[in-house]
Structure 1
Amino acid sequence: MIGISTYCLIEEPLSRALDRLSELTGLIEVMDEGLHFADSPELFGSYSSDFIFHAPYHGMNIACVFESVRKASVEVMTDCFAVAAEIGAPVVLHPGYFAWENEREQANRQFNKSLAELSSAARELSVAFSFENMGDMNFFNLRTPEDLAIINGIPFTLDVGHANLNRCLPGFLETKFCHMHLHDNNGKRDTHSPVGEGDICFPAVMAAMRREHATAVIEVKSFDGAVESLRALEAL
């Protein structure tokens, strides 16, 4: 099953987004930010869809060298875990970043501290989580297949658009992953375009998804683009 992220309806209330997307797919990824911030599990009880949560990321940095920011970021992620656990939804996280090259080692230590705390919280709440690869932004963790070691065996979500920006999608397609974010681009900007509007080879993406028995959601900027992408992918 190919799902859709609420990102394509981020300007509408979450309930309205869920209504519209549940008519198209039985798998919805909730972009847990802005109007789609989910602070209570009750809303989801009226839907038969399966859900995945994308944890908040604006202002969050679980690798931050400032301990107060790191701790607050972990707390926000853990709150997301708690809501997701109530409805049996796994959670996708961003892996953090460092601001200056000479902070890399310190940021790695901070990330490892956060990873231990998040893993403990996930065990306590019985929730699964994974880390997503990032785009071509300097100092972000987890941009290439070689960076997978940093997540220390935690499941991996493959964002194909981000991998294309870093010119390493073929390498990522050969790795193990549990989930995918599907969107297109021309390798220059993170446009989250509909499938077919960039240069990503989606037959290869779909073959890897089936090989790994992974879940996948379309993560594009517009509702019409999501519908268009769903039709294109279902034809592959």
Structure 2
Amino acid sequence: MFAISTYCLHREPLPRALEVLSEITGSVEVMDDGLHYLSSPEILESYSLSYSLHAPSRGVNIASLLEPIRKASVQVTDKCFAIAAEVGASVVIHPGYFAWVEERGQAEGQMLRSLHEITAAADERGVSFSVENMGNWDYFFLRTPAELPLFDGAGFTLDIGHAHLNACLPGFLRHPFDHIHIHDNDGTTDSHGAVGTGTIDFSAVTAAIGREGITPVIEVETLEGVQASILALGY
């Protein structure tokens, strides 16, 4: 079994994306951003799909030193949790970033404060969430396995493309994970390419998925790439 992220159709309205993907799979991860931003669960309830949600991330920073922005980021995440609770979905969140390297310590404190509040909100709504590792972008938290202890108590989403960009995918694969994003790249650009078009060793990835017993989410940039990935993975 596999799931597909609506990222592959992020330039299409969400109803159109769900209509197309429902013909390919019974499980979809909604990228709750851009054209696919969710204001209510209504559209999701129109389809007989199982869901996970990727909480808004482009305008959100749970590690912001600017307290109004940090608080608003937690509130935006909680709104996603409220919708997830209505459709029985788990949620993926980003760990945030620091604007200046000199502020990393303060930003870490803000992030941990936010995670405490987000965990309480998730518990109150009966929703599970996990934090995704980031790509090779300066100032983001959770780029390597060494940072995983910061998130002790939260679930972990392994994005294999992001891990490959930081040359640490084998290290991440040795750790348990609750959720996984599947795409490929050449180790230099976060291209979200189809499986087999980059340099990731998918035999190790599929072995880890089998070990964890979870449903992988194909998070490829194009629908054609999704279809190629399904074939490459043998689903």
Interval of TM-score (by shorter of Structure 1 and Structure 2): over 0.9
2:124 is aligned to 124
Deviation, structure 1 residue 23: 0.8
**Aligned position for 1:168:** 168
* Matching residue of 1:145: 145
Aligned equivalent of 1:18: 18
> How far did 1:43 drift?
1.4
Identity %: 56
- Unmatched segments (≥5 aa) in structure 1: none
Structure 1 position 163, deviation (Å): 0.3
Q: Specify the alignment match of 1:7 in structure 2.
A: 7
Tell me how far apart the structure 2 counterparts of residues 169 and 122 of structure 1 sit (CA, whole Å). Answer: 28
Opposite residue 149 of structure 2, the aligned amino acid is A
TM, length-normalised to structure 2:
0.98
Tell me, yes or no, if structure 1 residue 135 matches structure 2 residue 141.
no
Query: 1:90-131 deviations in whole A, cap 9, x for unaligned?
Result: 000000011112111110110111011101100111001000
For residue 93 of structure 2, what is the amino acid of its counterpart? L
| Runs of 4+ off more than 3 Å | none
SS of residue in 2 equivalent to 1:215: coil
Q: Deviations over 1:124-175 (max 9, x none)?
A: 1100100000001111000111110111221100000000000000111110
Per the alignment, residue 193 of structure 2 pairs with: 193
CA-CA distance at 1:194 after TM superposition: 0.5
Local SS of the residue matching 2:89: coil
CA distance in 2 between partners of 1:178 and 1:230 (Å):
21
The equivalent of 1:52 in structure 2 is 52
Task: Give the TM-score taking structure 1 as reference length.
Answer: 0.98
Q: Deviation of residue 46 (structure 1)?
A: 2.7
Task: Check conservation: 1:52, 1:91, Cα contact below 8 A.
Answer: yes
Tell me the CA shift for residue 51 of structure 1: 0.3
Cα distance, 1:215 vs structure 2: 2.2
Deviations, residues 6-65 of structure 1 (Å, cap 9, x unaligned): 000001110110011011111100000111111111212232221000001112100011
Which residue of 2 is the match for residue 226 of structure 1? 226
CA positional deviation for 1:231: 1.5
